[in-house]
Amino acid sequence: MRYSQSFIKTLKEVPADADSINASYLQRASFIEKKISSARK
């Protein structure tokens, strides 16, 4: 099976709202998913 047909959804772009390098890697690999933006002011 080709990787493009697998169930794993990965991102090629770096997320703009990532807090750290580790968070951007985890978001790109679909280990974590950000549902809402932070509510800090």
Residue 24 has a pLDDT of 86
Residue 41 has a pLDDT of 52
pLDDT in tens, 3-39: 667 777 777 787 777 788 888 888 888 888 777 766 5
Closest CA to 23 of 39, 34, 38, 12: 34
Residues 39, 33: contact at Cβ < 8 Å? no
Burial 8-41 (b: 16+ CB within 10 A, else e): eeeeeeeeeeeeeeeebeebbeeeeeeeeeeeee
